[in-house]
Structure 1
Amino acid sequence: MPVRVVESSSSSAPSQVSGSSPGHALPPACTLLSVGQAFAGTQNVSSSQKDEAWRVNVRIQGCDLDHGYLCGTMEALNVPLADTPVVTFWEGEVVDTKNYTFFTGKWEATSEDDIRHWSKFPSFVPFLSQVEVDGGKSLDLSNCPYIFMRWKEQYFVNVGPDCGLTIAGFYYVCFSCIDGTINGFYYDPNSSPFQKLELKSTNEGRSGFSFSSYELQ
């Protein structure tokens, strides 16, 4: 949910897979990617004018890996233009080659944008050549210890759209099933490029503490 800054782009073929082979296996099950799990960390929103990072909390609110879907809330705590922490609701697409591929096909992201962002994750590099061919449709990710996703913020939960921030873009996300860490890069052709999201799983909510509650509609 960064501040708007620059340029524009175009879309490419959609990432949702239709008619995929029934032999495609789902990503590995992971107890750290489940409803109620919380994550905390930072999002680097630095620009050419200044260095800046926001503290960020994320909580998983829904998870349906069979359909490549998950959703949650994201809370940015020290946003300069906001008087209160800014909370957004996001929905995610899991790259499982059954429901979604590595190609986004919307939100102004071209296949070149996809390759450029996914390639920033070292865990993606072994898949690069096949993704360049068909978005990774023929890949088997069932034994991969990482889960690749896209997170798209849908609306502001506790502030209005005039809060000075934008949710026009989306996040390329890599989740580690090994230690529960999340790395991501925000993409919006009108915002500073490659804003990095770094989160670690926490016990919040599972040990009696939780974020403020919000009514999601």
Structure 2
Amino acid sequence: MPVRVADVASPSQFPGVTTGNNLPSPCSLLSVGQEFSGTQNVSSLQKDEAWRVNVRILGCDLDHGYLCGTMEALNVPMADTPVVTFWEGEIVDTKNNTFFTGKWGATAEDDIKHWTKFPSFAPLLSQVEIDGGKSLDLSNYPYIFMRWKEQYFVNVGCDCGLTIAGFYYVCFSCSDGSVNGFYYDPNSSPFQKLELKPTNNGRSGFSFSTYELQ
């Protein structure tokens, strides 16, 4: 939720990467109720600023490559209270979703520019450039790649001075639950970095298909 402004190794040589279309393995740190805390850097040429951010997972369906949750920004300068948004995510599993976004104004070139910001993506690059990664098997890969798209503001109006027009490219580490992301929106500062760590008070709850946020 930013302020609006104007030779790689082949996949088969990297542990956990093969060809095929198997779903990512279940990860206990990517589960309903899990919470994360960290920062989003919203620096631009005019300022250097980082917001404190909390994320909570409300639903996760690996079979369909879907998850959703809330994101809370705590120290937004133009807001009197923390700003909460509801987001929905696509898990890149090469079955339901590939590395090519195909919407939200992102081109294949935009996708490559953002995915290559993650060092863990390097072994996948050559295959992704060919077919978006459709032939990759990421079931045992130690990282899960996702896109998070904020859908609406929960506790403030859309005139709060923030935009949710873009989306996040996200890389999740299965080993420690850390989250790194980059926000994409042509009308916002580029490559705003999201850095989150799992907290100890999550991982409780259940998945459901209808959400009511107040």
Q: What TM-score do you get using the length of structure 1 for normalisation?
A: 0.87
Aligned counterpart for 2:69 among listed residues 46, 67, 72: 72
Offset from partner CA, 1:56-101 (integer Å, 9 cap, x none): 0000000000000000000000000100000000000000000000
Please state if 1:82 is matched with 2:84.
Answer: no
In the alignment of these two chains, the number of paired residues is 195
Please state if 1:171 is matched with 2:168.
Answer: yes
| Separation in 2, partners of 1:132, 1:177 | 24
| Separation in 2, partners of 1:137, 1:216 | 35
Instruction: Summarize the alignment of residues 1-217 of structure 1 with structure 2, pairs less than 5 Å apart.
Output: 1-6=1-6, 24-205=21-202, 215-216=212-213
Offset from partner CA, 1:118-161 (integer Å, 9 cap, x none): 00000000000110111111011111010000000000000000
Task: Give the fraction of aligned pairs with identical amino acids, expressed as a percent.
Answer: 86
Gaps of 5+ in 2: 7-19, 205-210
| Separation in 2, partners of 1:159, 1:191 | 20
| Separation in 1, partners of 2:104, 2:93 | 19
Conservation of the 8 A alpha-carbon contact between 1:77 and 1:85? yes
Q: Aligned partner of 2:89: which letter?
A: G
Residue 15 of structure 2 corresponds to which residue in structure 1? none
Change over 3 Å in CA distance of 1:193–1:204 after alignment to 2: same
Conservation of the 8 A alpha-carbon contact between 2:73 and 2:82? yes
| Separation in 1, partners of 2:212, 2:144 | 29
* Poorly superposed stretches of 4+, deviation over 4 Å: none
Q: What TM-score do you get using the length of structure 2 for normalisation?
A: 0.89
Change over 3 Å in CA distance of 1:32–1:205 after alignment to 2: closer
Offset of 1:203 from its aligned partner? 1.2
Conservation of the 8 A alpha-carbon contact between 1:28 and 1:145? no
Offset of 1:205 from its aligned partner? 4.0
